[in-house]
Each structure stands twice: as structure tokens, then as C-alpha cells.
């Protein structure tokens, strides 16, 4: 179990996967990519069918990290459990407008002739459907905000995430995990902040990673704020706010992450 | 391939009381990147004795035990942490972003060091520029300070101890002895980093011994541009294409035979400035806001799948939109910002009199691993001496003025008196207490 503290807090385990969850990961002045790696390992171990949009790193990077967490991505891909989009690989050809222009390319929006992420969504649709022996279907995106850097509008990204959520969470009763990275200044940025706010309203669980408010520390890498909707009979409906909150601090190690309550880091005690 | 931003981080725990440790810092070691090649280098399966394998080194947080069984390319070293090849001043498939200082003096210096290291190691060098002709920059590279070891011995891996610095036991500041040394020790025989003399330029023979490709925008940009709408501008597209072609031609993407593999060092000067036909420095809401970031994404893609490392300098002080700079930083592996004191009020500030500027580490790389190597502290300052560009932890100069100590002694006596009277009367009167 990779995240024992966080997992038990949220009711996550490889034996029991919630259905229809939209998990939003965000970071501000920190790096939340370790969370995406953990979720990837978690879902693969639980036997889910995973579609991973790796837009910012190469496959070998995720593979190397996953090996440390005990999961073999190469094998999962060969067996069909994992469908991996290596965004970087096709991007140069699309940016330089080499090769034919077709909707079949998931990264085709880089050409500039498409204003939306239709081709990327079609790829997701093809990948999560027909799960077969692996179930439920999971979509992981690392990360959504890089699309803003590539000239895609906020509206197009929100449309894309809406389509994905409808397909993955509602139709297929699977889960979706997306990472959004925002900058330091809360008021300044338009793109990522808007994206984050809109997606926060739609998600059922939000993990926000931040640097420590008091500054940089080598032993405590940051803090994570967990907000989630109440489940069960007394809970608000799907439109309910993320009522439950918890604040923890974390430190990333070579093979995992440790979470602890504020002020209880081993560096302090 | 992703270019990751440069690394920088050879920090030395600078304390004014250290005795017996020679000052050694090398900019190439300073920029240490613990990044590994994105492209997995095939294990040769045999331990090459000529490989510069380093033994375990526990003096710095950036050096690890080296694993053998990796392809041997001169001027590179395998990183233990994630099995990537480390190049001095960088890691292959990484690129560094250096936020320029106001007058672009120190960032240019770092770029030249980066390229000079490439020349000395025999790597293939690529230089892209829009303002100064690349040949001029190449002619101005600093001369390396070479030992009297013939070049044949370059590939002889002499296993030397990493902590070759003379530790010396400290007598006065013995408490500092236990501080972990962040300085990377340079074993000169392993040829992993070099020192440069900034006052001399590199000899022409040395420079011409390596292959150098250049890209000078005024020569490459066609008079008429018929660009279709695209997230990336014409200028950057041409640059990206020329890098892609070079990689394909020379086989840096793995198609070259193993024996003749080499590293491509890419230096890009002042990306984002108006000379690259980019208006992010002119407008707060530029028309092609995502042009530079799209280029960096493409560059990242190219770097991740080939044996390359890249250093990019960006005039961030001109970029008006903070968000764009954040995105640029995120698209790179290592990002450092140089803030020189020249021309600012800090130049005359006595606190900073030992240094030429501050250095901010914005981002550290973590390729192929979960955790990023973070420096102990982020308060770093740099100074450019004739034979070194050193980066040190910012520390206050020792408090040696008389007036200050006198008043502090008086304070101490005062407080001691108060204390003693509270405790029940010891005759202290004017006695000084020395702590």
C-alpha cells in the first residue's frame, strides 16, 4: 500500500475502489507529480483498466518511477491493462506540421488547425472502452495545465474534461484523476486558476499540494489539503460542496511518500 | 525530448571559519544535473574498465555510488540515483533554463562555460542565437585550465576518492566540522569537470576539433513568411526543425553505432526576446503567448529521446506576464534565476560585498525518480573570479567592527547585572562577560 496514511483516511485500497470518482490533484509552488505516480500504481495493482495521458514526461520516466513503487508498466502495457499516450513522442511531428493532418492523431491539436481537443478525446474513448477482464476503467491525466502552454483555450480543456467525465465516470462507472498545476500568484493567472476553480466544483475529491507557507524546508516538502464530499445516506447529492477537509504535511522519499500531521515531522520531533 | 533546464547546484557550504579546505568550485560541477537520459541507454553488459566509475561518495548530496554497465561516452558519468548519464553541467536530455540577469553578463558567462565544457569533452555543440552571430560567441569561449595529462589518458578511468579535498581538522570552528559538505569534489583525473580561465579565450585548435553547428536567426528566417496558424511561431519552428534534423543526421537519437555515440550540447541564447520575433517581452497579453512554451515542449520531446543536453537563457526580467515565466519554468527540468547586483542599490550594500549577484533555484529536476534533489538552502549567491565562477551559500560576513562589539559588550554587562541582581546579588558591576 503506497499511501497508508492517505489511503486509510480516504478509504482507498486496492481491494475497494470507489466508482464514479473524479479526483482532482493540484499543486501550487510545489510538485504533485508524485501523487499521479502513486495513483497509477494503485489502480494497476487493483486490476483496473488504465488509460494514462502522459503529456509531460516520457514513458521511461513513469516506468522507472513505477518500478520503485513495485509496478511494471511495460508488462501492464503489453498485457493490455495499460494504455499509455506518450504525448511528447508525437508532438514534434505535429508542431512542425510533418506528416498528414488527420483526426487520428491524439496530439493533432498541436498543428493549430484544430481548436479543440476532439482527437485527444477520441483516443480516450477508444482506450477506456472494452475493458474486458480489467475493471473498472480509469483515466489519468498528467497534466492538464500543460495544454494551456500549448495554446489550447480554457474552454476547450473544460469541454474535454467534461466529455471525459461523462464517459469515464458516469457511463463506465470508472474513475478519473487529473492534475492541474497553477502558479504562485492566486489572482494573477487566468488560465490555470479558472481551470482549477471549474474543475474543483465538479470533482468528488480534491488534493491540493502546496509549499510550506513559511518557506522552503528540506525535510518537509510541503503540505497537502484534502477535501472530499461526504458519502453515504446523509450526504449531499452530486452537486454538493467538498465539505470535509484535512491538512497534512508530507515528505517524498525515494520509494514513497510519508504523510504526517502538521508539526509532527521527524525533523521536528 | 525535453530539455530540462539547467542545473546548477554545486553549492559549497561557505563558512568564513573553515580552515584547511581549499576553495574549489567549478561551474561545470556547479551545474550538476542529476538527470538521466530519457532514452534508456542499453546496458552493454560488460563492465568497461575505462569507464569513469566513481566510488561511493558521501560528501555531497549530489553524488551517489555509481553503477557500472552503462555505455561509456567521454565526458559523461552514470548517475546512481536513476541510471541516467550525467554530463558535467547537466544531464543529457535535460535542459536548463537560466533566467538572465539584467545586462545578460553572467548568464552569457554560464552559457559559454556550458559550451566550453562541451568542446573540452569532445561533444558536438549546437548554438542558436538571434542577436550575436554564433561564431562570435564561439570565439569568445573561456580557455580551460588543463592539467598536464595527455589526452590519451582522458578515458582511463582512474578511480579516485570523491572526497579528495583536504578536510583538515578545524580548530576554532570545530562545530562546523560536522556539517555535511555540499561541495562536490573534483577529481581532476576523472575528467568530469573542468576549470576555466575567464580572462583567456579558448585556443582555436581546441575549438575546431569539435563539430559545431549553429543557427543564426537573421540568416535562417525567410523574407516572406507564409505560416499557417500554429501555436508555435515561425522562428521557433525553424529552430526546432534544425535541431531535429541535426539529431537525425548525426544519430543522437540512438541510431548511431554504440562506439561512436556522443552527446549533443545545445546552447540557446536569449529565447523569448523580441529578436526571436516573440512579443512576450513587449506585451502583457501577447498575441502568441504560447509560442515559446510550445517550442520548449517540442524541445523537451526532442531531448527526451536523444543524447542531448540543452541550456537556454531567457530574459525573464523583460517578460511582463508572470504566468508565462511560470510555465516556462515548469517545462524545463532545472531553472535558475540570476540576479546580478550590477547597477542596483545592492552593489554597495556591505552585506553583499563579496558577491556579484544572487542565484535563485527555481526548480530542480527529478527524472526517473520520485524525489528531487533539493539543495540544503535556497539562498545562494555567485561571484565571478578570474579562474572560477563560484556559487556559494549566502552567508553574512563576520561581524568585525569595533563599535558594534563594544556596544554589545555593554549590553551584555547590563543584562548580566540585571540578571545577577535578580538572582540575589553577585558583585558584577563593570565586568565584561565573554561568551
B286-337 residue pLDDT tens: 677 788 889 989 988 888 888 788 888 888 777 767 778 888 888 888 777 7
Output the pLDDT for position A51. Answer: 93
Query: Comparing B216 with B351, which gets the higher pLDDT?
Result: B216
Point out the residue among A148, A149, A253 whose CB comes nearest to the CB of B371. Answer: A253
Please check whether residue B245 touches A, CB under 8 A: no
Chain A contact present for B342, CB below 8 A = no
What is the model's pLDDT at position B54? 33
Average pLDDT of chain B is 59
B216-235 residues touching A, CB cutoff 8 A: 228-232
Which secondary-structure segment (H or E) carries B110?
helix B105-121
With CB atoms and an 8 Å threshold, state whether B323 touches A192.
yes
B247 Cβ under 8 Å from any chain A Cβ = no
Q: Which of A60, A91, A149 sits opposite B290 (nearest CB)?
A: A149
Q: Could B370 and A65 be called an inter-chain contact, meaning their C-beta atoms sit closer than 8 Å?
A: yes
DSSP string, B151-168: GGGGG------S--S---
Name chain A contacts of B374, Cβ cutoff 8 Å.
Answer: 216, 218, 221
Chain B residue with CA closest to A218: the answer is B376
- DSSP strand pairing (B334-340 vs B94-99): parallel
Nearest residue of chain A to residue B376 (CA atoms): A218
Q: At what angle do helices A87-95 and B291-304 cross, to 10 degrees?
A: 120
Indicate if the pLDDT at residue B270 is higher than 60.
Answer: yes
Between A204 and B197, the higher pLDDT residue = A204
Specify the pLDDT at position B188.
Answer: 27
pLDDT tens digits, one per residue of B62-112: 333 333 333 445 544 544 444 455 555 444 445 566 666 656 666 677 777
With CA atoms as reference, the chain B residue closest to A184 would be B326
Interface contact A57-B2, CB threshold 8 A: yes
Residue at A43 is within a domain: yes
CA distance A132 to chain B (A): 31
Whether the CB of B284 is below 8 Å from some CB of chain A: the reply is no
Smallest Cβ distance to B228: which of A64, A91, A112?
Answer: A112
CA atoms of B323 and A190, how far apart (whole Å): 9
A62, A151, A156: best mutation site toward chain B, by most B Cβ within 10 Å? A151
CA distance A59 to A67: 12
Of A60, A89, A254, the CB nearest to B40: A60
Contact assessment for residue A145 and residue A180, using Cβ atoms and an 8 Å cutoff: yes
Q: Tell me if A96 is assigned to some domain.
A: yes
Which range (A70-74, A141-145, B232-236, B417-421) has the least confidence? Answer: B417-421
Cα B380 to Cα B120, B375, B385, B394: the distances in Å are 28, 10, 16, 5
Q: Which residue of B has its CA nearest to A150?
A: B294
Give me the residue from B38, B229, B326 closest to A61, CB to CB: B38
Contacts of B326 in chain A (CB under 8 A): 183-184, 189
CB contact under 8 A, A60 and B327: no
> What pLDDT, on a 0 to 100 scale, did the predictor assign at position A141?
93
Q: Is residue A224 part of a domain?
A: no
C-alpha grid cell for residue A117? 481537443
Could you tell me if residue A249 is inside a domain? no
Of B231, B240, B327, Cβ closest to residue A112: B231
CATH code assigned at A197: 3.40.50.300
Please indicate whether residue B237 or residue B374 has the higher confidence score (pLDDT). Answer: B237
Q: Do A254 and B371 touch (CB under 8 A)?
A: yes
Nearest residue of A to residue B295 by CA position? A95
Nearest to B30 by CA among B426, B392, B367: B392
8 A C-beta contact, residue A73 and residue A41: no
The pLDDT of residue B401 is above 60: no
Question: What pLDDT band is residue B153 in, cutting at 50, 70 and 90?
Answer: very low
Q: What is the DSSP string of B198-244?
A: EEEEPPHHHHHTS-EEEEEHHHHS-SS--PPS-SS-HHHHHHHHHHH
Confirm or reject contact between B327 and chain A (CB < 8 A). Answer: yes
Cβ contact, residue pair B297, A96, below 8 Å = no
Domain count, chain A: 1
Backbone torsions φ then ψ of A242, nearest 5 degrees? -80, 95
Q: Are B297 and A150 in contact (CB < 8 Å)? A: yes
Q: How far is A73 from chain B (nearest CA, A)?
A: 13
Say what the pLDDT of residue A176 is: 92
pLDDT reported for residue B50:
30
In a domain, A231, yes or no: no
Contacts of B298 in chain A (CB under 8 A): 91-92, 95-96
- Its ipTM equals 0.88
Give the tens place of pLDDT for each residue, B348-384.
666 666 666 777 777 776 666 666 655 555 667 666 6
* Out of B322, B327, B369, closest to residue A149 by CB: B327
A198 in a structural domain: yes
Is B362 in contact with B335 (CB distance < 8 Å)?
yes
**Is there a contact between A252 and B371 if contact means CB atoms under 8 Å apart?**
yes
* Most confident option among A215-224, B231-240, B274-283: B231-240
CB B196 within 8 A of CB B144: yes
pLDDT exceeding 90 applies to what percent of chain B? 0
How many whole angstroms separate alpha carbon A193 and alpha carbon A209? 14
Considering only residues B32 and A82, tell me which one the structure prediction assigns the higher pLDDT. A82
The alpha-carbon gap from A168 to the nearest alpha carbon of chain B, in Å, equals 28
Per the domain annotation, does A193 fall within a domain?
yes
State the Cα–Cα distance between residues A44 and A205, nearest whole angstrom.
20
Backbone φ and ψ of A246, nearest 5°: -155, 145
Q: What is the mean pLDDT of each run of 10 residues along chain A (269 residues)?
A: 54 70 87 86 88 90 87 91 89 82 80 83 87 82 89 91 92 91 69 86 88 72 81 52 77 75 68
What distance in Å separates the CA atoms of residue A36 and residue A52, rounded to the nearest whole number? 10
Nearest to A149 among B293, B305, B372 (CB): B293
Q: How many angstroms away from the CA of B44 is the closest CA of chain A?
A: 18
Distance from CA of B11 to the nearest CA of A (A): 15
User: What is the domain range of residue A98?
Assistant: 19-207
Quick one: cell of B417? 547585572
A236 lies in a domain? no
pLDDT band at B134 (very low <50, low <70, confident <90, very high): confident
Sign of dihedral through CA atoms B328, B330, B331, B337?
Answer: positive
Contact, B88 vs B28, CB < 8 A?
A: yes
8 Å CB contact of A88 and B297: yes
Burial tier of A94 (Cβ tally within 10 Å: 0-12, 13-18, 19+): buried
Radius of gyration from C-alpha coordinates of chain A: 18
Which residues on chain B are in Cβ contact (under 8 Å) with A58?
2, 38-39, 304-305
Contact A184 B302 (CB under 8 A): no
The runs of H, that is alpha helices, within A22-130 are 33-45, 59-68, 73-79, 87-95, 118-128
> Is B285 within 8 Å of chain A by CB?
no
Instruction: Look at B33 and A36; give whichever has higher pLDDT.
Output: A36
B294 touching A (Cβ < 8 Å): yes
| Probe site for chain B from A29, A149, A187, A267 (most B CB atoms < 10 A) | A149
Query: Do the Cβ atoms of B368 and A65 come within 8 Å?
Result: yes
Amino acid at each position: 500500500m503506497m499511501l497508508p496514511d492517505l489511503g486509510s483516511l480516504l478509504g482507498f485500497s486496492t481491494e475497494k475502489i470507489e466508482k464514479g470518482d473524479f479526483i482532482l490533484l493540484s499543486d501550487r509552488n510545489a510538485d504533485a507529480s508524485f501523487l499521479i505516480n502513486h495513483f497509477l500504481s494503485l489502480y494497476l495493482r487493483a486490476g483496473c483498466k488504465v488509460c494514462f495521458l502522459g503529456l509531460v514526461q516520457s514513458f521511461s520516466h513513469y516506468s522507472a518511477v513505477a518500478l520503485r513503487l513495485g509496478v511494471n508498466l511495460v508488462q501492464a502495457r503489453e498485457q493490455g491493462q495499460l494504455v499509455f499516450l506518450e504525448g511528447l513522442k508525437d508532438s514534434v511531428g505535429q508542431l512542425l506540421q510533418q506528416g498528414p493532418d488527420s483526426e487520428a492523431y491524439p496530439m493533432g491539436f498541436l498543428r493549430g488547425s484544430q481548436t479543440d481537443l476532439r482527437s485527444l478525446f477520441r483516443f480516450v474513448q477508444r482506450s477506456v472502452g472494452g475493458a474486458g477482464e480489467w475493471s473498472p476503467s480509469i483515466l489519468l491525466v498528467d497534466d492538464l495545465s500543460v495544454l494551456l502552454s500549448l495554446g489550447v483555450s480554457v474552454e476547450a480543456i473544460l469541454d474535454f474534461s467534461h466529455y471525459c467525465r461523462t464517459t469515464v465516470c458516469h457511463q463506465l462507472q470508472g474513475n478519473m484523476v487529473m492534475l492541474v498545476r497553477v502558479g504562485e500568484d492566486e489572482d494573477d493567472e487566468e488560465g490555470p486558476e479558472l481551470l482549477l476553480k471549474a474543475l474543483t466544483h465538479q470533482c468528488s475529491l480534491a488534493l491540493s499540494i502546496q509549499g510550506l507557507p513559511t518557506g522552503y524546508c528540506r525535510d518537509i516538502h510541503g503540505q497537502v489539503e484534502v477535501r472530499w464530499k461526504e458519502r453515504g445516506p446523509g450526504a449531499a447529492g452530486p452537486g454538493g460542496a467538498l465539505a470535509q477537509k484535512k491538512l497534512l504535511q508530507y515528505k517524498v522519499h525515494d520509494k514513497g511518500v510519508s504523510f504526517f500531521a502538521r508539526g509532527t515531522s521527524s525533523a521536528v520531533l | 525530448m525535453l530539455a530540462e533546464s539547467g542545473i546548477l547546484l554545486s553549492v559549497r557550504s561557505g563558512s568564513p571559519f573553515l580552515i584547511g579546505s581549499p576553495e574549489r568550485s567549478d561551474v561545470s560541477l556547479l551545474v550538476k544535473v542529476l538527470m538521466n537520459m530519457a532514452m534508456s541507454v542499453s546496458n552493454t553488459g560488460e563492465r568497461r574498465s575505462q569507464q569513469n566509475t566513481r566510488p561511493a561518495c558521501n560528501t555531497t548530496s549530489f553524488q551517489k555510488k555509481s553503477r557500472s554497465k552503462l555505455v561509456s561516452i567521454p565526458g559523461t558519468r552514470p548517475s546512481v540515483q536513476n541510471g541516467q548519464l550525467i554530463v558535467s553541467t547537466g544531464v543529457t536530455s535535460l535542459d536548463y533554463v537560466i533566467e538572465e540577469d539584467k545586462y545578460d553578463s553572467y548568464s552569457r558567462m554560464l552559457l559559454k562555460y556550458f559550451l566550453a565544457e562541451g568542446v573540452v569533452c569532445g561533444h558536438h555543440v549546437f548554438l542558436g542565437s538571434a542577436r550575436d552571430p554564433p561564431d562570435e560567441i564561439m570565439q569568445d569561449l573561456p580557455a580551460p585550465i588543463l592539467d598536464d595529462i595527455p589526452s590519451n589518458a582522458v578515458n582511463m578511468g582512474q578511480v579516485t576518492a570523491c572526497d579528495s579535498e583536504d578536510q583538515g581538522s578545524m580548530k576554532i570552528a570545530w562545530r562546523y566540522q560536522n556539517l555535511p559538505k555540499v561541495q562536490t569534489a573534483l577529481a581532476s583525473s576523472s575528467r568530469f569537470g573542468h576549470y576555466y580561465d575567464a580572462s583567456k579565450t579558448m585556443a582555436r585548435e581546441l575549438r575546431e576539433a569539435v563539430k559545431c553547428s549553429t543557427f543564426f536567426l537573421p540568416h535562417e528566417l525567410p523574407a516572406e513568411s507564409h505560416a499557417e496558424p500554429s501555436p508555435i511561431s515561425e522562428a521557433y519552428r525553424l529552430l526546432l526543425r534544425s535541431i531535429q534534423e541535426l539529431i537525425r543526421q548525426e544519430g543522437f537519437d540512438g541510431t548511431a553505432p554504440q562506439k561512436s555515440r556522443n552527446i549533443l550540447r545545445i546552447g540557446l541564447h536569449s529565447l523569448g526576446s523580441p529578436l526571436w520575433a516573440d512579443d512576450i517581452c513587449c506585451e502583457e497579453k501577447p498575441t502568441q503567448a504560447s509560442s515559446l512554451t510550445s517550442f520548449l515542449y517540442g524541445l523537451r520531446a526532442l531531448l527526451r529521446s536523444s543524447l542531448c543536453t540543452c541550456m537556454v537563457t531567457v530574459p525573464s526580467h523583460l517578460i511582463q506576464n508572470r504566468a508565462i515565466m511560470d510555465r516556462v519554468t515548469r517545462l524545463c527540468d532545472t531553472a535558475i534565476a540570476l540576479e546580478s547586483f550590477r547597477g542596483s542599490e545592492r552593489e554597495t550594500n556591505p552585506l553583499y560585498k563579496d558577491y556579484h549577484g544572487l542565484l535563485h533555484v527555481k526548480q530542480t529536476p527529478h527524472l526517473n525518480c520520485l524525489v528531487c534533489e533539493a539543495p540544503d538552502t535556497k539562498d545562494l549567491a555567485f561571484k565571478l573570479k578570474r579562474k572560477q565562477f563560484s556559487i556559494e551559500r549566502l552567508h553574512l560576513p563576520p561581524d568585525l567592527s569595533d563599535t558594534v562589539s563594544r556596544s554589545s559588550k555593554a549590553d551584555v554587562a547590563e543584562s548580566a547585572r540585571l540578571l545577577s541582581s535578580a538572582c540575589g546579588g553577585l558583585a558584577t558591576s563593570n565586568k565584561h562577560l565573554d561568551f
